Amino acid sequence: MSEAERIDGPLEGHCLCGTVTVTITGVHKEIDICHCTMCQRWGGTMYAGIECDGFVLNGEDHISTYDSSDWAERAFCSRCGSNLWYKFKPTGARTFLAGLFELPGGLPIKHQIFIDEKPDWFDIAQDSSRKTGAQIIAEAQAAGFTFE
């Protein structure tokens, strides 16, 4: 379990049309940002995700998943197209799209990853850890994960 502080109580969120609802518990008080080109194509720009210790999904008949690589699964609502989550397949760990939930203000950014793939037409004002794609892959490999 992460050392991050947790938000009190569960948070309930939903896709744009409301068909898929997500209740998350043990919600980490920080946002993960990914600038990789896959996230850009998936959502138009960066992916902002929130980690949690547990979740309950409703409307599962309307959830579609896509294996975007050997190690990643992305999910979306098949009715309205809203992005739902990113899952790191080797561990099963997910981050849910932060925009699904009404989050409290002032959450810090945990880190920005694949910063070397970020478009130059925007910047995030909040100071946070920034890692290149090569750094993230090296960290994952050092933890025993393989990528082909």
| Mean pLDDT, contiguous 10-residue spans, the chain (148 residues) | 84 98 97 96 96 97 96 97 96 96 96 96 90 89 83
pLDDT at position 5, please?
Answer: 94
How many whole angstroms separate alpha carbon 147 and alpha carbon 133? 12
For residue 107, give every residue at least 6 positions away whose Cβ sits within 8 Å of its Cβ, in sequence order, or none.
29, 30, 31
pLDDT at position 1, please?
Answer: 47
How many whole angstroms separate alpha carbon 56 and alpha carbon 131? 31
pTM of the model: 0.88
pLDDT at position 145, please?
Answer: 84
pLDDT at position 140, please?
Answer: 87
How many whole angstroms separate alpha carbon 47 and alpha carbon 24? 18
pLDDT at position 79, please?
Answer: 98
pLDDT at position 110, please?
Answer: 95
pLDDT at position 56, please?
Answer: 98
Q: Are 13 and 22 in contact (CB under 8 A)?
A: yes
